[in-house]
């Protein structure tokens, strides 16, 4: 998460520098900087939620795989073989 926040901050800082150098009207510059700040907040929040969701999905997938690997296939196959091996009564 630290790397993503740093990347987001670097991009948004570049946008603010662009506004500082090329926008001479202070009212317009302030509005654009507010917009960049809103973008920064939204992007960081969306990135955090995305990473949290990914982490939760990967943890739950790992749990499901571990539980599936605990299934005793040998016991099930022995039970099936015992059923087939029993002689059926003729009527």
Q: Return the pLDDT at 11.
A: 97
The residue written with tokens 């009527």 in the block is 91
Contacts 24+ apart (CB under 8 A), 3-8: 4/47, 4/51, 5/44, 5/47, 8/40, 8/43, 8/44, 8/47
Contact 36, 15 (CB under 8 A): yes
For residue range 9-25, what is the model confidence (pLDDT) as tens digits? 999 999 999 999 999 99
- Mean pLDDT score of the chain: 89
φ, ψ for residue 24 (rounded to 5)?
-90, -25
For residue range 45-80, what is the model confidence (pLDDT) as tens digits? 999 999 999 999 999 999 998 888 777 777 778 878
Q: Return the pLDDT at 83.
A: 80
């Amino acid at each position: 998460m630290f790397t993503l926040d740093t990347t987001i901050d670097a991009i948004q800082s570049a946008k603010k520098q662009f506004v500082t150098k090329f926008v001479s009207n202070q009212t317009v510059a302030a509005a654009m900087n507010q917009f960049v700040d809103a973008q920064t907040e939204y992007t960081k929040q969306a990135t955090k939620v995305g990473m949290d969701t990914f982490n939760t999905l990967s943890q739950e997938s790992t749990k499901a795989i571990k539980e599936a690997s605990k299934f005793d296939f040998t016991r099930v196959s022995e039970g099936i073989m015992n059923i087939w091996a029993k002689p059926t009564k003729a009527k």
